[in-house]
Amino acid sequence: MADIPGAPPVPISHLTRAQDRLTFLYLEHCIVHRDANAITARDARGTVHIPAATVGALLLGPGTQVSQQAMVLLAESGATAVWVGEHGVRYYAHGRSLARSSRLLEAQAALVSNQRSRLRVAREMYAMRFPGEDTTGLSMQQLRGREGARVRRVYRQHAERTGVEWDRRDYDSADFAAGTPINQALSAANTSLYGVVHAVIVALGCAPGLGFVHTGHVRSFVFDIADLYKAEITIPVAFDIASREVSDIGAETRRAIRDRMKDGAFLETCVRDIKTLLTGEDEEIEYGPEAFEDADVVMLWDSNGRTVAGGTSYWEDEDEI
């Protein structure tokens, strides 16, 4: 038999678990191609090689040209390619998921489709954000009220800590430069966080659009999960950057967010939190090579609550048709 045309897929044994990958890498004004199992980024200064199997999200900014072979490698490696706008503050599209199992997706869909379970997960999210506060029995209106007060307090605390003048969150998504330095830094920080969280969500096979607190947007679940970490990551980093004289607030903020996530083992935390919210389990999650032994096995649903093997003929008697 003739060989299948095209580059062979990356061996499963070479893949890295979602929680062990680099958080994100932002590229702009370069040509993105492939060299063996590495993504290359080339501009006037030279070429950089990036191991595709270790990247969580590759953010492709303005001026990037990406080859078909580079996209094939990213897809086979389970790395999420995200096309973003200038400064990385606008989201356009993303690539393929690392996951092959629908287990977490089914759990997410079941929880979000029932009002009681949806409210329970929303309460758990707020409890994660505000440790020590009892969210038991609170309605969504009460949760939103507590969130507003808590977030305003966090903003004031970091404004006092850094000496940055703070009024309110105010930005124009169509005009990044029109915002104050602190609002620019917050926009860049939050977008970087959204990109990484989006990569984790799709890597685990969950639906970015099925949110528990947010709703009606294709990234509602991304915003839900990202909100868990803003008080600890993006808000303090943004105020730190805004308190300094920097030539490029967007670039400096992205680098600072990257370093903060790396130091705090962010991917592992994010994966664990999503799994806990959707399944109630907190054990280590294996989304590496060992999880893909039966990756492409497709099962058929049976009304008695079981699953049966796909790719099998269940016809026994022509009279039963």
What single string gives the DSSP state of each residue in 128-182? HHSTT---TT--HHHHHHHHHHHHHHHHHHHHHHHT---------TT-GGGS-HH
pLDDT digits 0-9 by tens, 90-109: 656 665 566 667 889 999 99
Give CATH 3.100.10.20 domain extents, the chain: 12-94
Query: Is 35 marked as a binding-site residue?
Result: no
What's the pLDDT at 282? 53
Per-residue pLDDT of the chain (321 residues; tens, 9 = 90+): 445 455 555 555 555 565 566 666 788 899 999 988 788 999 989 999 987 777 777 878 888 998 988 888 877 777 777 777 765 556 566 655 666 678 899 999 999 999 999 999 999 999 998 888 888 888 989 988 888 889 999 999 999 999 999 988 877 766 777 778 999 999 989 988 988 888 788 878 899 999 999 999 988 999 999 999 999 999 999 999 999 988 889 889 988 998 888 766 787 888 899 999 999 865 444 444 344 334 455 666 676 667 766 656 566 655 554
What's the pLDDT at 173? 67
Q: Does the structural domain 12-94 have CATH classification 3.100.10.20?
A: yes
Q: Are 54 and 16 in contact (CB under 8 A)?
A: yes
pLDDT digits 0-9 by tens, 13-31: 555 565 566 666 788 899 9
Give CATH 1.20.120.920 domain extents, the chain: 103-279
pTM, to two decimals: 0.69
User: Phi and psi (nearest 5°) for 282?
Assistant: -130, 15
Which fold is adopted by the domain 103-279?
Four Helix Bundle (Hemerythrin (Met), subunit A) (1.20.120)
What single string gives the DSSP state of each residue in 61-92? -TT-EE-HHHHHHHHHHTPEEEEE-GGG--EE
Query: Is 133 marked as a binding-site residue?
Result: no
Q: Are 194 and 208 in contact (CB under 8 A)?
A: no
Query: Is 87 marked as a binding-site residue?
Result: no
